[in-house]
Amino acid sequence: MTNDSRHWVFGYGSLIYKVDFPYVRRSMASIRGWERRFWQGSHDHRGTPESPGRVLTLVPSSPDQVCLGMAYLIEHEVFEHLDHREKNGYERRKVRIRLHDADATVGGLTYFAGRNNPAWLGPADIADIARHINHSHGPSGSNRDYLLDLARSLRGLGADDTHVFELERKVLALGNC
């Protein structure tokens, strides 16, 4: 963190491509020791309470695993918006963020949904996750669009994310639901 009024926030999912909040600065960034997984339920954005969608969280990985995303330097009051946006089982977690444009590492926060939250869906067969994503919809749109927008954004960053890209291939093979 930079001081009491500004904080770095690392985005690894929709925060990469859906930037609906003000920021002071942004940078392509990465964190180590974590990887993306579609193991979190979405009752409020990409699904409903009766039929939750599947969205990303981070899971621990090997210390040399790099998760590429975007970091935003924000004013403290922006957390009111972000906390509401990431409310369904997510909590803020401290992380070390490598800012690629400055070749520097800073302290910051990311939103993390652990296995003990009420919206946790957990691991499943990749084909089952793809089918689940393909048919889920919520107030923020289709779960399929969330996945496809993410995959496109990750390619734009030059990321290589086996989990996301394999899900993308499987969802595209299923056709539009």
Q: How many CB atoms lie within 10 A of CB 82?
A: 20
Catalytic residue among 50, 75, 86, 166: 86
Determine whether 86 is an active site residue. yes
Give the ranges where 116-174 is alpha helix by DSSP (H). 126-135, 143-157, 162-174
Burial group, residue 17, by CB count within 10 angstroms (0-12, 13-18, 19+): middle
Give CATH for domain 6-174. Answer: 3.10.490.10
Residue range 66-78, pLDDT digits in tens: 999 999 999 999 9
Q: What are phi and psi of 116, to 5 degrees?
A: -95, 10
Q: How does strand 141-142 pair with strand 137-138?
A: antiparallel
Residue range 22-42, pLDDT digits in tens: 999 999 999 999 999 999 999
Q: How would you write the pLDDT of the chain (177 residues) with one tens digit per residue?
A: 445 799 999 999 999 999 999 999 999 999 999 999 999 999 999 999 999 999 999 999 999 999 999 999 999 999 999 999 999 999 999 999 999 999 899 999 999 999 999 999 999 999 999 999 999 999 999 999 999 999 999 999 999 999 999 999 999 999 886
For tokens 């539009």, the residue is 176
Token digits of residue 66: 């790099």
Q: How does strand 137-138 pair with strand 104-112?
A: unpaired
Longest Cα pair distance anywhere in the chain, in angstroms?
Answer: 48
Residue 34: predicted pLDDT: 97
CA 65 to CA 154: how far, in whole Å? 16
